[in-house]
Structure 1
Amino acid sequence: MRVTVVGGGVIALLTAVECALDGHRVTVVDQGPIPYSRATSFDQHRIIRALHPDDPPATRAALRAHRRWLELEELFATRFYERVGALTVLPPAAADAGTVLLADAGGRARTLTAGALADRYPHLSLGGAAGAVLEDDAGVLLAERVLSACVGWLKWQPGVGLLEHRPAVAVDGESGRVTLADGQVLDGDGVVVAVGPWARRLLPERVAKSLALYRQSLLYCRVPRGAAEAWAATPAVPALGTRRGAWLIPPVAGTALKLSSAAVCRQVDDLTDNATPERWQQELTAEFADLLPGFGPAWVLGTKDCYYLSHAETGGPLVVSLGGSAHAYAACGGSSFKFAPLIARTLADRVLGRVPDRTGLAALDADPLDARP
């Protein structure tokens, strides 16, 4: 079977890997270099953790994704998963419930009291009334290294081709035809579209209108030399327990400390640049001044804004059927990287005409939205 994968980010590349592992001919095409440096998934690092409070199916799915990431490290012969753990700060009762939830799902975690948090992480101001869940099977994925490893593996596979700097302008799902901006037509037996925030350009108008575009601001920071040892022992923190939804990724394997919060994620009309406006940089700086002792503008090495699409109706991901054996991962919902191996396997199964295994993620397990007129 000939499969065309449109996209240069983590979902597209892992879907191409899954199709190639099944012995199919694969062509990956993207508007920029592969991997695409403007893809939302092209970044220094991402958090991988299992705990999704009050959501057992998502917690179990995250544990399966964790195991698949370890398998992918072996397949690609590349280390990109730093298993530093993950710390989710919650009210004490919720932390106890989270630990039980993880244990029931087959994960490993322990509950930390406010006192234990203060002793372990004096460089974080987490509030005296908080508890936390500390996961063992969690940590940081080195995102750029993941994408490079995918491409490096694909280049050595027979029957796999990469077409860079070739934007797709139209997809005909029924015929399996992808038309490029230069007029070339790629014919295949199946098509997967996973182009992140650019998806609306390749989808029918009624589907595109159902997708909301979001812009998120990020700070990349250098930790003080005197605190380097403490930060080296810091897990990823997907939730710092604040009203504004602050989170951080520690500096691992030569990366920067990354800071952001849900409060600086806002809906926008169009993709523009990736520069962080001064207002949002100042807002993040002020927010983390209350969370990291001594934090200030001098810590900041750089900033970046990234974009993602969400299904307006659910606020999460969306899989779309384009007819025939063509499918699109139309929206990622802002939290797809950790689940990327499960998403890629599901997309590959759908385009290859197989019934996907259930993942526990509603957006993947539901029937795709039919985009045909």
Structure 2
Amino acid sequence: MKIAIVGGGIAGLSSAWALTKAGHQVTLYEQGPIPNPLSASGDEHRIIRRAYGGLSGYARRIDEAYGAWDELWDDLGEKHLVENGFLIVSRQPGDEAEQYRDGLIAGGYPLDLLDSGEAAERFAFLEAGTFRYAGFSPEGGALLCQKIAGGLEGWLRNHGAAVHDNTTVTAVDPAGTVITAEGATDFDIVIVTAGAWVLGLVPDLAGRLTAYRTAVAYFTPPPDLADAWADAPVMLDAGADSDGYAIPPIGGSGLKLGTGNHKRQSPPDADRTPAPDEADAIRRWFSPPLARLDEYRHEKTVTCAYTFTADERFALHRRDRLWVVSACSGHGYKFGAAVGRRVARHVPGGEADALQAWLEARD
């Protein structure tokens, strides 16, 4: 089949990869370079982890996610995953870290619980006495996004896919037409994986998808904490109402701090220049539990654009030959390779119900 994919983030690249492997004629369109620094997939790294609290269906899908990544590493000839585990820090009863803990225990997944003193001794960047307990699981780590995107782009070009980067799609038609500045091209199937830009192409989805602008900040820790961070797991949650996460300086990157609280509704191209005070606004969500946070030197701030659904589950929309796959809500990257394989399995045969059931992970 002749298939177009609109959007070169991880869902689009992975779908192009899996569909090309299945023998389809694939054309990929991306409005910027690959990786695109403005996209949700364009930052340095993203967390992969088993913990999911109440969204237990996604926890069970992590096995499939790892299997898909392993297949991708085999094809790329290089593994772009640092498996350093993940850390949760609880500061209040019932906070998100505790929900993650409960979900991990209920699922029988590995978790080493430490009291505040034990955790601060093991992870020197934590401040003892500022949190209730911490939990460490070896089953997780960080995916190196920019290296993955670069590897996939090269693989696609080498295996016959048509990759049109720096090419803006101005419209898509349910009849299977993609329109760019160069004209209209017809396809058997059009798959839109355009992240926060999807609403510009399919405005009818505004009732289901909401675009947000957020930012993350990179820091360099004090010299005497550098070794502790170099060997650290990713921090999935910093406790209380922080909704804060951290990725240590791995794979040649810096220490990244981010929080789900630092977001606002916004079109994806608006307000993308970081404000001078954003790094400090993000930093404040981590003090506590991080010790001596005022000694961390700010390196850079990066803005991101995401789409969210009301229940934070992934979404599917189909109309005739047009398919829209929105696997985001702030936690989609880890499933990128698996989403691509599922798209290749279900879309050519018109199996919308099966794909939707997998994306929503309600089982």
Instruction: Calculate the TM-score normalised by the size of structure 1.
Output: 0.87
Paired residue total? 357
Contact 2:35–2:150 under 8 Å retained in 1: yes
CA distance in 2, matches of 1:249, 1:361: 28
Partner of 1:97: 102
CA offset at residue 131 of structure 1? 2.6
CA distance in 1, matches of 2:178, 2:272: 28
Q: Does the C-alpha gap of structure 1 residues 360 and 173 become closer, same or farther in structure 2, counting only changes over 3 Å?
A: closer
> Percent identity of the aligned residues?
27
Residue 321 (structure 1) aligned to one of 302, 309, 318: 318
- Encode CA deviations 1:313-368: one digit per residue, 9 max, x unaligned: 434432111323x21124621211011122222323332115476797553679xx
Q: Does the C-alpha gap of structure 1 residues 108 and 287 become closer, same or farther in structure 2, counting only changes over 3 Å?
A: closer
Contact 1:65–1:339 under 8 Å retained in 2: yes
Partner of 1:336: 332
CA distance in 2, matches of 1:249, 1:58: 21
Which stretch shifts more, 247-256 or 88-97?
Answer: 88-97
Partner of 1:113: 115
Letter in 1 for 2:83: R
Contact 1:191–1:351 under 8 Å retained in 2: no
Partner of 1:186: 185
- Encode CA deviations 1:205-255: one digit per residue, 9 max, x unaligned: 332354322111211111222222111121001101132212111111211
**For 2:293, what is the secondary structure of its paired residue?**
coil
Which stretch shifts more, 27-36 or 257-266?
Answer: 27-36
Letter in 1 for 2:133: G
Matches within 5 A, 1:195-210: 195-203=194-202, 205-210=203-208
Partner of 1:165: 166
Partner of 1:56: 56
Which stretch shifts more, 129-138 or 17-26?
Answer: 129-138
Instruction: Calculate the TM-score normalised by the size of structure 2.
Output: 0.89
**For 1:264, what is the secondary structure of its paired residue?**
strand
Q: Does the C-alpha gap of structure 1 residues 225 and 361 become closer, same or farther in structure 2, counting only changes over 3 Å?
A: farther
CA distance in 2, matches of 1:3, 1:41: 22
**For 1:305, what is the secondary structure of its paired residue?**
strand
Q: Does the C-alpha gap of structure 1 residues 222 and 69 become closer, same or farther in structure 2, counting only changes over 3 Å?
A: same
Which consecutive unaligned segments of at least 5 residues does structure 1 have? 367-373
- Encode CA deviations 1:6-33: one digit per residue, 9 max, x unaligned: 1111110000001011111111112122
**For 2:236, what is the secondary structure of its paired residue?**
strand
Partner of 1:83: 83
Letter in 1 for 2:44: Q
- Encode CA deviations 1:114-165: one digit per residue, 9 max, x unaligned: 332122112123645523332212101111011111112111103x111122
Q: Does 1:307 align with 2:308?
A: no
**For 1:27, what is the secondary structure of its paired residue?**
strand
Which consecutive unaligned segments of at least 5 residues does structure 2 have? none
Q: Does the C-alpha gap of structure 1 residues 252 and 42 become closer, same or farther in structure 2, counting only changes over 3 Å?
A: same
Residue 136 (structure 2) aligned to one of 134, 137, 140: 134
**For 1:33, what is the secondary structure of its paired residue?**
coil
Higher relative CO (Cα under 8 Å, sequence separation at least 6) belongs to: 2
Q: Does 1:237 align with 2:212?
A: no
Contact 1:215–1:266 under 8 Å retained in 2: yes
CA offset at residue 297 of structure 1? 7.0
- Encode CA deviations 1:239-288: one digit per residue, 9 max, x unaligned: 01132212111111211000011221222356314222234333223333
Q: Does 1:271 align with 2:276?
A: no
CA distance in 2, matches of 1:139, 1:360: 26
Q: Does 1:155 align with 2:157?
A: yes
**For 2:302, what is the secondary structure of its paired residue?**
strand
Partner of 1:369: none
Letter in 2 for 1:280: E
Contact 2:279–2:298 under 8 Å retained in 1: no
Q: Does the C-alpha gap of structure 1 residues 41 and 127 become closer, same or farther in structure 2, counting only changes over 3 Å?
A: farther
Which stretch shifts more, 243-252 or 59-68?
Answer: 59-68
Partner of 1:285: 283
CA distance in 1, matches of 2:101, 2:40: 34
Which stretch shifts more, 73-82 or 326-335?
Answer: 326-335
Contact 1:87–1:135 under 8 Å retained in 2: yes
Contact 2:215–2:262 under 8 Å retained in 1: yes
CA distance in 2, matches of 1:243, 1:284: 13
CA distance in 1, matches of 2:19, 2:154: 16
CA distance in 2, matches of 1:152, 1:126: 47
Contact 1:197–1:331 under 8 Å retained in 2: no
CA distance in 2, matches of 1:49, 1:58: 10
CA offset at residue 202 of structure 1? 0.8
CA offset at residue 166 of structure 1? 1.7
Q: Does the C-alpha gap of structure 1 residues 127 and 12 become closer, same or farther in structure 2, counting only changes over 3 Å?
A: farther
Letter in 2 for 1:327: W
Which stretch shifts more, 6-15 or 341-350?
Answer: 341-350
